[in-house]
């Protein structure tokens, strides 16, 4: 439950530059007016820095980009990274610089001089986020992720910011680890066990087993998992940072640990990626960990529905009709549209039990959202403009792509069933929207609600802005920031 990169803070000291670090990284803000560090290093490298920063190669680089010098003069370090910076540099530029330095660090011991860098928090966040690796099942020796020493003028002043940053990164890593795990390891039982461990951080964790779910009438959720040997579960995580009188924010996640499509079986090509179909639950879990680690002064509940969608003699069939906890009947046209069935019961239960101040659900729900937005943006649907705009603002600040999608009663006709109150699919066109319309049916009147389809954003084949290929941990930083700005008592 912690990052694997060791971060040390050191006070500004020229002598550090001559110690045995694998890499030294410095910021170049003005090529014509070098600071003391650059002047000192330029002497040690016999003018190599001045030559490099006046080159066309460095001139072409943008703020946050890095030019590396190999075996630089009399330095003990093997590499010297020159980070291009500008007085107009923004927080995302600093995070970009951290990412670029991390990509070059290669399990090494590095020193970063940030004495001219006012966005040190974003710098180290970018570095830590990109240093992530998931190598649990590789038999080669694990050499670790190295260490980074941040040299600052007043390191004591940065200790609190570093602690909060590491809490956020730990949450992102927790999410990534869950999403990257194979389904033979992370089944519903193992998933719930890992969430139970969050109780050591002060989170109240409650696990609802199938018998209890049946008593509650969660037949839509149970129907998805009835073909699996692994039991369906609901895990409730409560972080109480304020008085009991304060309504909590509710985070709700789809946790399909593996999705074959059920009887409506998926094609074989790409099915191995369906280990990430619990991505929504992973984001909820990672966010809860971050809030607890930084002791957020807010009340937040996280609920995840853990199921496995398998084909078997006991599996749900196309054409089956189930009665949801709300009481609405659902005709299951396609068993591969299972996430909305899980969420329908989970969302209703959340409202009945907690009556939250607002609800955000997250799910790797539809391939249609990938067609619409690609892998760069999650699709955001909402019944409340202010709530939605607050989320879109923080997602933009965290550089986590999010784009609002439409809702409308005109889409409901596509979900009309001849035999039941509603059917679970509405056809190929507007697939992500009709899925959101289905979920909205289980949101009570006047309940502020956001639905986020993270099918493209949760897991990528190639590296993303802050992560190597695989699980991205998308959403943890945005949700944490939303809690901090809108739900947390900072007085």
Helix axes 155-180, 120-130, angle to 10 degrees: 30
Sheet of 299-309: strand order equals 204-208, 233-240, 299-309, 249-259, 358-363, 449-453, 378-382, 402-404
Asked whether 232 and 213 are in contact (CB, 8 A), the reply is: yes
Half-sphere exposure of 289 (CA within 13 A, CB side): 30
* CB crowding 328-361: b at 16 or more within 10 Å, else e: bbbbbbebbbbbbbbbbbbbbbbbeebebbbbbb
Please state, in angstroms and rounded to a whole number, the distance separating the CA atoms of residues 24 and 422.
61
Asked whether 477 and 168 are in contact (CB, 8 A), the reply is: yes
Half-sphere exposure of 430 (CA within 13 A, CB side): 17
Q: Is position 340 annotated as part of the catalytic site?
A: yes
Distance of CA 37 to the CA centre of its chain: 36
Nearest Cα to Cα of residue 133 among 98, 105, 161, 95:
105
Record the tokens describing residue 120, joined without a space: 């040190």
Distance (Å) of CA 40 to CA 65, 80, 338:
22, 13, 62
DSSP state string for 388-419 = HHHHHHHHHHTT--EEE----GGGGGGG--SS
Please state, in angstroms and rounded to a whole number, the distance separating the CA atoms of residues 291 and 476.
10
What backbone torsions phi and psi does residue 177 show, to the nearest 5 degrees?
A: -60, -45
Please pick, among 340, 423, 441, 481, the residue that the annotation labels catalytic.
Answer: 340
Please pick, among 10, 78, 266, 393, the residue that the annotation labels catalytic.
Answer: 266
Sheet of 66-70: strand order equals 6-11, 147-152, 109-113, 23-28, 79-84, 66-70
Q: Is position 266 annotated as part of the catalytic site?
A: yes
Alpha-carbon radius of gyration of the chain? 24
Token look-up 């985070």 returns 251
Q: Which residues pair with 362 in a beta bridge?
A: 253, 452
Please state, in angstroms and rounded to a whole number, the distance separating the CA atoms of residues 226 and 312.
9
Nearest Cα to Cα of residue 399 among 378, 381, 372, 384:
378
Catalytically annotated residues: 266, 340
């Amino acid at each position: 439950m912690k990052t694997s990169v060791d971060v040390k803070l050191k006070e500004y000291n020229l002598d550090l530059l001559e110690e045995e670090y694998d890499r030294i990284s410095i910021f170049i803000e003005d090529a014509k007016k070098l600071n003391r560090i650059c002047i000192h290093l330029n002497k040690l490298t016999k003018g190599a820095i001045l030559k490099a920063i006046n080159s066309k190669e460095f001139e072409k680089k943008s703020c946050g980009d890095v030019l590396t010098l190999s075996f630089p003069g009399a330095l003990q370090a093997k590499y010297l990274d020159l980070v291009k910076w500008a007085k107009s540099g923004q927080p995302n530029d600093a995070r970009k610089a951290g990412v670029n330095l991390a990509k070059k660090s290669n399990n090494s011991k590095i020193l970063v001089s940030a004495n001219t860098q006012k966005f040190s928090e974003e710098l180290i966040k970018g570095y830590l986020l990109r240093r992530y690796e998931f190598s649990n099942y590789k038999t080669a020796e694990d050499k670790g992720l190295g260490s980074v020493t941040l040299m600052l003028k007043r390191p004591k002043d940065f200790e609190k910011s570093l602690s909060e940053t590491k809490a956020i990164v730990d949450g992102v890593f927790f999410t990534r680890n869950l999403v990257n795990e194979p389904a033979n390891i992370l089944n519903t039982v193992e998933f719930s066990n890992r969430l139970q461990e969050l109780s050591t951080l002060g989170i109240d964790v409650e696990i609802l087993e199938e018998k209890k779910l049946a008593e509650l009438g969660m037949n839509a959720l149970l129907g998805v998992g009835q073909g699996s040997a692994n039991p369906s579960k609901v895990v409730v995580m409560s972080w109480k940072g304020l008085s009991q009188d304060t309504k909590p924010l509710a985070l709700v996640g789809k946790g399909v640990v593996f999705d074959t499509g059920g009887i409506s079986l998926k094609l074989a090509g790409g099915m191995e990626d369906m280990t990430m179909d619990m991505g929504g639950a992973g984001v909820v879990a990672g966010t809860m960990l971050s809030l607890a680690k930084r002791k957020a002064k807010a009340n937040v509940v996280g609920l995840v529905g853990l199921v496995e969608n398998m084909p078997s003699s006991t599996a749900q069939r196309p054409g089956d009709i189930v009665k949801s906890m709300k009481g609405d009947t659902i005709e299951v046209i396609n068993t591969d549209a299972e996430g909305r069935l899980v969420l329908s019961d989970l969302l209703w239960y959340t409202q009945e039990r907690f009556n939250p101040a607002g609800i955000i659900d997250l799910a790797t729900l539809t391939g249609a959202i990938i067609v619409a937005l690609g892998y760069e943006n999650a699709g955001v649907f909402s019944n409340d403009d202010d709530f939605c705009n607050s989320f879109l603002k923080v997602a933009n600040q965290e550089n986590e792509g999010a784009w609002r999608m439409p809702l409308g009663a005109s889409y409901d006709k596509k979900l009309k069933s001849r035999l039941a109150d509603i059917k679970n699919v509405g056809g190929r066109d507007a697939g992500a929207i009709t899925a959101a319309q289905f979920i909205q049916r289980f949101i009570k009147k006047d309940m502020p609600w956001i639905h986020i389809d993270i099918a493209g954003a949760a897991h990528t084949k190639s590296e993303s802005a802050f992560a190597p290929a695989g699980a991205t941990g998308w959403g943890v930083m945005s949700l944490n920031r939303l809690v901090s700005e809108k739900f947390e008592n900072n007085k």
